[in-house]
Structure 1
Amino acid sequence: MTEIIQVKDLSYKYEEDAPFWTLDKVSFHVKQGEWLSIIGHNGSGKSTTVRLIDGLLEANQGEIYISGDLLTPDNVWEKRRQIGMVFQNPDNQFVGATVEDDVAFGLENQGIPLEEMRERVQEALELVGMSEFKTKEPARLSGGQKQRVAIAGVVALRPAIMILDEATSMLDPEGRLELIKVVQRIKEKYKITVLSITHDLDEVALSDRVIVMKKGQIESISSPGQLFLRSDLNQLGLEAPFTVQLAEKMRQAGLALPSGYFTEEELEEEVWELISKM
């Protein structure tokens, strides 16, 4: 699988005379079509990393490659067109008077022909379930609806990479889950690469790989299943998933469950199989 993002020995300070690096020689890659989550405590360097990838910040040291090309001040605007970014607070992204105006804004800036623009806006709004709100004012929408519109604005631009910077953190659990499912549908439909900064376990669970950052460095890279079995999850700002806690209680009660991480469906199948043998 082709690597669409490569980060090599990336280092960054917000202030030149700061005693510590915000990022300190960080290296990793993201494969085309992959969902990579980055987790860690506040100040660990997560958001700084994606802002450097999107060209919002310029690294002090190191290299970033997007689709095989070194990111430079000369090509940063071109490379940004390959990346769609959704932030924590969607209100900061709205510029249109109506939902459809807002989704069309980026397309207008790219000079997309009017008829194609209308088709893309409609398709994007349908994909996130917001087509019936296209004439509404963004300010009158709920938090989850606003994030759907923000994602629609990104999807309409057809980027190769979507970055979610704590995009679900201001939503309630139900809203977070709904939004994650929307992103999953978009990823599957357009084969978009997803890079997600998150603390949400449901979001992490959908990832192909997870990077744990600590004090500006990469502490580990693993699968979600490997991460969820760690005994120090609370120190990473995460709680063990419900299925991990439940499986452990079942083992303590004498049920011979195999070790490893299970989704809810997998755990249900394991339990039924054990019961059928009793």
Structure 2
Amino acid sequence: MTDIIQVKHLKYKYEEEAENYTLNDVTFHVKQGEWLSIIGHNGSGKSTTVRLIDGLLEAESGDIFIDGDKLTVDNVWDKRRLIGMVFQNPDNQFVGATVEDDVAFGLENQGIPLAEMRQRVQEALELVGMADFKIREPARLSGGQKQRVAIAGVVALRPKIIILDEATSMLDPEGRLDLIQIVKDIKDQHGMTVISITHDLDEVALSDRVIVMKNGQVESISTPADLFMRDDLADLDLAQPFTAELAQSLRQAGLAVPLRYFTEEELEETVWEFISKK
């Protein structure tokens, strides 16, 4: 896979007189079609990083390459069209009187012909399971439904990259799982790249790689499996996954469970193997 995003030696601070940088020499890449999660404490630089990628902020130094081109003040609007962002509070993104009006808003701004616009709106709402709500007022939707509509508005624009900036944090566990699965299905169906800023284990588990940010720098880049085996997850605002706790309990009970991360399915198969041998 080729890199769709390259971030090289970014430095940024919000106030010129600030002693410390919000981002200090941040470097990483994102491959086309992958799901990259970014985690870390509040203030570690996660949201600042994606705002720089989307051109909402301008770095003091360093370079960002999007789809092969260096991000500049001259091409920022063109590159921003390749990126769709979904924020924590969907109410801040709604501008239409109805769901379908809201999803169509970005398409209207891009001058998409009416017939194509209607088709894209319908397809996007069907993808997120909200086609039956298209004439509903956004204010009358639940939190999970609002986030689905926000995602539909992004998907209708057909970006190459979707950025989720704490997009599931205001939802209950069931709502988070539902929304994450919708994004995964869209990603797999359309080959989109996903960058997710999150503290949610299920969201992290779906990603291909995880960046841990600390004090404005990249502390580590790993797979979710490697991350979940760390003994300092609490320091990263992450709980230990249930399967990791259960595997440890099984080891303490005398079962020779390998010291690695297991998904629920993998751990179930491992336990059944032990049982079948007895």
Instruction: Give distance in 1, aligned partners of 2:266 and 2:199.
Output: 23
- What is the DSSP-based 3-state SS (H/G/I as helix, E as strand, rest coil) of the residue aligned with 2:28? strand
Q: Displacement of 1:60 after TM fit? A: 0.5
- Report the equivalent of 1:242: 242
Return 5+ residue gaps in structure 2 as ranges.
none
Give yes or no for the alignment of 1:69 onto 2:96. no
Q: Give the % identical residues.
A: 78
Q: Displacement of 1:78 after TM fit? A: 0.3
- Report the equivalent of 2:108: 108
- Report the equivalent of 1:169: 169
- What is the DSSP-based 3-state SS (H/G/I as helix, E as strand, rest coil) of the residue aligned with 1:212? strand
- Report the equivalent of 1:9: 9
Instruction: Give distance in 1, aligned partners of 2:119 and 2:252.
Output: 56
Q: Displacement of 1:256 after TM fit? A: 1.2
Q: Which amino acid aligns with 2:173?
A: P
- Report the equivalent of 1:122: 122
Instruction: Give distance in 1, aligned partners of 2:121 and 2:82.
Output: 18
How does 1:75-90 map onto structure 2 within 5 Å? 75-90=75-90
CA RMSD of aligned residues (A): 0.4
- Report the equivalent of 1:208: 208
How does 1:11-160 map onto structure 2 within 5 Å? 11-160=11-160
Q: Which amino acid aligns with 1:221?
A: I
Instruction: Give distance in 1, aligned partners of 2:171 and 2:179.
Output: 9
Q: Displacement of 1:274 after TM fit? A: 1.1
Q: Displacement of 1:242 after TM fit? A: 0.5
Normalised TM-score (structure 2): 1.00
Instruction: Give distance in 2, aligned partners of 1:210 and 1:147.
Output: 23
- What is the DSSP-based 3-state SS (H/G/I as helix, E as strand, rest coil) of the residue aligned with 2:148? helix
Query: After the TM superposition, which parts of structure 1 deviate over 6 Å for at least 4 consecutive aligned residues?
Result: none
- What is the DSSP-based 3-state SS (H/G/I as helix, E as strand, rest coil) of the residue aligned with 1:155? helix
- Report the equivalent of 1:266: 266
Instruction: Give distance in 1, aligned partners of 2:120 and 2:199.
Output: 31
Q: Displacement of 1:159 after TM fit? A: 0.1
Instruction: Give distance in 2, aligned partners of 1:118 and 1:105.
Output: 11
Question: What's the CA shift string for 1:100-137, capped at 9, x where partnerless?
Answer: 00000000000111111111100000000000000000
Q: Displacement of 1:169 after TM fit? A: 0.3
Question: What's the CA shift string for 1:37-84, capped at 9, x where partnerless?
Answer: 000000000000000000000000100000010000110000000000
Instruction: Give distance in 2, aligned partners of 1:195 and 1:276.
Output: 41
- What is the DSSP-based 3-state SS (H/G/I as helix, E as strand, rest coil) of the residue aligned with 1:7? strand
Give yes or no for the alignment of 1:190 onto 2:190. yes
Instruction: Give distance in 1, aligned partners of 2:274 and 2:258.
Output: 10
Aligned pairs, number: 278
Return 5+ residue gaps in structure 1 as ranges.
none
Q: Displacement of 1:237 after TM fit? A: 0.5
Q: Which amino acid aligns with 2:120?
A: R
- Report the equivalent of 2:179: 179
Instruction: Give distance in 2, aligned partners of 1:59 and 1:140.
Output: 39
Question: What's the CA shift string for 1:187-246, capped at 9, x where partnerless?
Answer: 011100000000000000000000000000000000000000000000001000010011
- Report the equivalent of 2:256: 256
Instruction: Give distance in 1, aligned partners of 2:150 and 2:43.
Output: 25
Instruction: Give distance in 2, aligned partners of 1:123 and 1:86.
Output: 18
Q: Displacement of 1:255 after TM fit? A: 1.2
Question: What's the CA shift string for 1:7-48, capped at 9, x where partnerless?
Answer: 000010000000000000000000000000000000000000
Instruction: Give distance in 2, aligned partners of 1:144 and 1:246.
Output: 30
Instruction: Give distance in 2, aligned partners of 1:259 and 1:269.
Output: 15
Instruction: Give distance in 2, aligned partners of 1:268 and 1:152.
Output: 36
Q: Displacement of 1:152 after TM fit? A: 0.2
Instruction: Give distance in 1, aligned partners of 2:139 and 2:242.
Output: 35
Instruction: Give distance in 1, aligned partners of 2:159 and 2:212.
Output: 26
